[in-house]
Every structure is written in C-alpha cells, then in structure tokens.
Amino acid sequence: MAEVRPDSASRQRTRANIVECAAQLLREQGASAVTTRAVAQAVGMQAPTIYRFFEDKDALLDAVAEHVFATYVSGKTLVEDSGDPVADLRAGWDTHIGFGLANAALFGLLTDPSREVRSPAAAAGLEVLRARVHRVAAIGRLRVPERRAVELIHAAGTGAVLTLLSTPPEHRERDLADAMYEAVMRSILTDMPTLPADSTTAVAVAFRAVAPKLTMLTGAERALLSEWLDRTGDGPTTPGASAGPD
C-alpha cells in the first residue's frame, strides 16, 4: 500500500472537518444555514478555500449525506443477505424510514426535486433497493416486474417519511410507515414461492431475474429471452384479462 504523504493526510483531515461542520449546521439549524460562508466560518477558513475541496455546494451536501448515512448505519444492526430476501427487503425499508425521521433536513435535501443532479448517496440507496428487489424476484415472489416494484417501494418510502416529517412529533402515527409497507407488499408479492399455474407474470419475473446467468446461451440469445420475458411480465395479471381484442 502506498504511504499517504503528510500533505495528503492533512487535506483529508481538513475535508473531513468541513463535512462534519456542515453536517452539524444542517442538523442544528436546517438546510438554509448550510452556506459556503457559514461552513467556512465554522471551520475557521476563508469561504473560497471550500472550493479547493468541493466543486460546489451540491458536492459538499452530497459528502455530508454520505457521512451522515455512514454514521447512522454504523450504529445499527443491518441485515445483509440473511438468506431471506423478503426479510432483507423489510430491513432495508426500516432503515430508510428510521434514517429519514432521524435526519429530517438532510432527507429533505436528498429528495428535493429541484436539484439538477441526483445525489450519489440517494442513487446508491436506490441501487441497494434494486438489488434487494432482484433477489425477491429470483425466488419467485414478485407478481410485478422488478422496475415496477422498485418504483412503488421507493415512492411509498419517500412519501411515508415526508408525511411523518410534516406532522408534529407528538401527533405522528408511527404505524403509518408499517401500514404503507404492508399495502405495497400486498400489491407486489405473491403469497408463496411455489407459483400457481396461472401466475404467468410472477413466473416471467422470476425467470427474467436469472436469465442473464444462463451462460449456455449466447449473449444475443439471452438478450432476446430477456426481451420476451419483459413483454410477458408487463402483460395483464388479472384472471381473464386479454392482451388484445379477440
């Protein structure tokens, strides 16, 4: 491993100090308090010096998001691939809700639709959700396409946190998030991994999840198979529904 030069180590310490000071301002005074001038003053440097470490304010906020989330999860017992994909999905939901309620100002920034570029921290979280949904699909428990499941869970989780945050703490119904999760699961999960014959969508979604691993097929064959399965997975799921006119 290459030795870290003193100047590099000093730069890393300064950068970490900037992030910590910005996180403290955000936590104690809200998003409006996190200005370049205020952060620089808290650190004890000139405002332009901040730009030697961060391209702009959004880059600083992204670093704060990563720092705060890492600090949050370090104190939690997280379920990582426990062997039960459905339980792992629930664990991820609980972490999302808990983090949002514990970090209201930061959550608001991460979900702000006016930001031109999606936060890397938010994007990384979405990738984790996609991976967990994919594992659920692979065991035959999804009744909808993976993308649809991800969008529903993401929308429900974000909405649940924002709704709770908009309610005074003493009036919050903490079981709202649980009720939201159960409602979404009823719409996207099958009851059992052993699929009935008429659950063509669930079968297609499960097969689609493992199709890329079928190495006995050529790349072109796997791509064609995936396209066919995508069409099947997006088809009607109501018994008796038709894909078109008779």
Both 198 and 100 in one domain: the answer is: yes
* 3-state SS, residue 100: helix
142 domain-assigned = yes
115 domain-assigned = yes
Query: What's the whole-number average pLDDT of the chain?
Result: 79
Q: Is the pTM of this model over 0.85?
A: no
Both 99 and 184 in one domain: the answer is: yes
243 domain-assigned = no
Short-list 24, 44, 178, CA closest to 103: 24
Q: How many of the other CB atoms lie within 10 Å of CB of 26?
A: 24
Both 20 and 124 in one domain: the answer is: no
Q: Determine the Cα angle at 226 with ends 224 and 230, to 5°.
A: 120
44 domain-assigned = yes
What average pLDDT does the segment 41-58 reach?
90
pLDDT digits (tens, 9 = 90+) for 175-195: 999 999 999 999 999 886 544
Q: How confident is the model at residue 2 (pLDDT cuts 50, 70, 90)?
A: very low
159 domain-assigned = yes
Both 45 and 89 in one domain: the answer is: no
28 domain-assigned = yes
Both 33 and 125 in one domain: the answer is: no
**Domain range for 153:** 85-233
Q: Which residue has the higher pLDDT, 101 or 174?
A: 101
Instruction: State residue 163's pLDDT score.
Output: 95
Exposed/middle/buried for 42, CB within 10 Å: 0-12, 13-18, 19+? middle
Q: What percent of the chain is modeled with pLDDT above 70?
A: 72
Q: How confident is the model at residue 238 (pLDDT cuts 50, 70, 90)?
A: very low
